[in-house]
Structure 1
Amino acid sequence: MDTVVVIYSGGMDSFTLLHLARSKGHPVHALSFDYGQRHVRELDSARQVCRALGIPHQVIDITAMNAVMAGSSLTGEGAIPAGSYEEETMKSTVVPNRNMILLSLATGYAVTIGARSVWYGAHGGDHAIYPDCRPEFIEKMDAVCRVANYEPVAIEAPFMRADKAAILATGLELGLDYGQTWTCYNGREKACGQCGSCVERLQAFAAHGLTDPLAYEEQA
């Protein structure tokens, strides 16, 4: 079975993706990125999970690139907006060219370790806001990364057409504990329950009639 590099943020989607790859028998290498995100605590979650599973895990510091990836509320420029992903204000969470940069670095890592593919957690719920999570982007990145080196590397997004509830359904089938993940865009002690990421996560659990195991701030 071919080795897979999973871009692993420590969030709900990539956590499910990591376990999905393992469930299919792939040897997995996890790759995480510190790009100056406010919710850097998601990287702590990623480290803990990989340590417990014995998965090789690299955390790459790319904060030096902030000057060319500026303008996002996720990296501390302005308030994190509250509400649904469909709202116009959520566009402030776009980090310029983030996934192209991360996929390029992950492809280089894949070539280095002899992996045949890079998986990342783009999903259908991201399409309204994030251009670098849409099918057209994924298809073109896949085409480029197959010819960018002597060794072809595929770019795969198994959840490309799934919503958050469907991703959670996959994780529930795998028996996953989502208390081991962090989703909130605010890097506080508890999840805020108000940002788009929290709202979408809570809606997914509600769709399954379940309570999210994460601790949330009390709402006024």
Structure 2
Amino acid sequence: MKAVILLSGGLDSTVCMAAAKNKNYDLYPISFDYQQRHNIELESAKKIAKFFNVKKHLIINTNMNAIGGSALTDNSIEVPDRDPDGTDVPITYVPARNLIFLSYALGYAEVLGAEYVYIGVNAVDYSGYPDCRPDFIKKFQDLADYATKATAAEHKKIEIVTPLQNLSKKDIVLLGAKLGAPLSMTRSCYNGGEKACGHCDSCKLRLRGFEEAGLKDPIEYME
């Protein structure tokens, strides 16, 4: 069986890919160059795809900084030093990103004849993004069941799979270690430097996850 994996190069998407590999699916990662500030994550995705020895790693170019409105795509907006447990939607939210990426992945799955689309969304330790919630995934699944020839006319199910949906960052780290995911290749920092900043939302959640898991984060951080 085939699975399309949304692979950003970050911790969650890499563990998500390892979970699909553990099911013995043929892996077809799809990544996006959307003019993101943290483009180093895309370089990590390339290395991770090679680690998993995939047949093909599809990279889509889409200019989301033309829309703007996010610190991840607009260099005039600074990445904030923010409490990652806040309930507001932060400025690092990229408008409709998961909706757009899942739509690409769904079309790719139809072309490949894939049964699954894997995405590493998480609703426990996350930054408050609305497109990481279970309700969003459920509604996208409802849409996917009617959106393609494969699903509507040929009655073939393409399932949106979220293996990390209800896991804490600690649990994600532990799962990644258990599955042998290449955690040292992952990059999560929103600032996108050679070394992680250690103080953005993503870094704080990652560091807390490794600390609570009792493991050392294998990537380098700024002093």
Amino acid at match of 1:60: I
Query: Do 1:142 and 1:156's aligned partners in 2 also have CA atoms closer than 8 Å?
Result: no
Extract unaligned runs of 5+ from structure 1.
none
TM-score normalised by structure 1 residue count: 0.92
1:141 and 1:126 mapped to 2: Cα distance?
A: 21
- The corresponding residue for 2:177 is 172
1:143 and 1:31 mapped to 2: Cα distance?
A: 22
Query: Do 2:14 and 2:182's aligned partners in 1 also have CA atoms closer than 8 Å?
Result: no
Give 1:127 shift: 5.8
Task: Name the CA shift for 1:144/1:89 in 2 (closer, same or farther; >3 Å).
Answer: closer
Query: Do 1:39 and 1:185's aligned partners in 2 also have CA atoms closer than 8 Å?
Result: yes
Identity of aligned residues (%): 40
1:195 and 1:110 mapped to 2: Cα distance?
A: 33
Deviations 1:73-96 (A, max 9, x none): 011241101133223676101111
- The corresponding residue for 2:222 is 217
Give 1:188 shift: 1.0
Amino acid at match of 1:144: L
- The corresponding residue for 1:71 is 69
Count of equivalent residues: 215
Give 1:187 shift: 1.3
Query: Do 1:35 and 1:62's aligned partners in 2 also have CA atoms closer than 8 Å?
Result: yes
2:89 and 2:81 mapped to 1: Cα distance?
A: 8
> Equivalent residue of 1:92, what SS?
coil
1:74 and 1:128 mapped to 2: Cα distance?
A: 13
- The corresponding residue for 1:57 is 57
Give 1:182 shift: 0.4
Extract unaligned runs of 5+ from structure 2.
152-157
Amino acid at match of 1:74: L
> Equivalent residue of 2:58, what SS?
strand
1:166 and 1:190 mapped to 2: Cα distance?
A: 24
Higher relative contact order (CA 8 A, sep 6+): 2
Q: How does 1:35-184 map to 2 (within 5 A)?
A: 35-55=34-54, 56-63=56-63, 65-68=64-67, 70-75=68-73, 76-87=75-86, 91-125=90-124, 129-152=128-151, 153-184=158-189
More displaced stretch, 191-200 vs 84-93: 84-93
TM-score normalised by structure 2 residue count: 0.91
2:87 and 2:136 mapped to 1: Cα distance?
A: 21
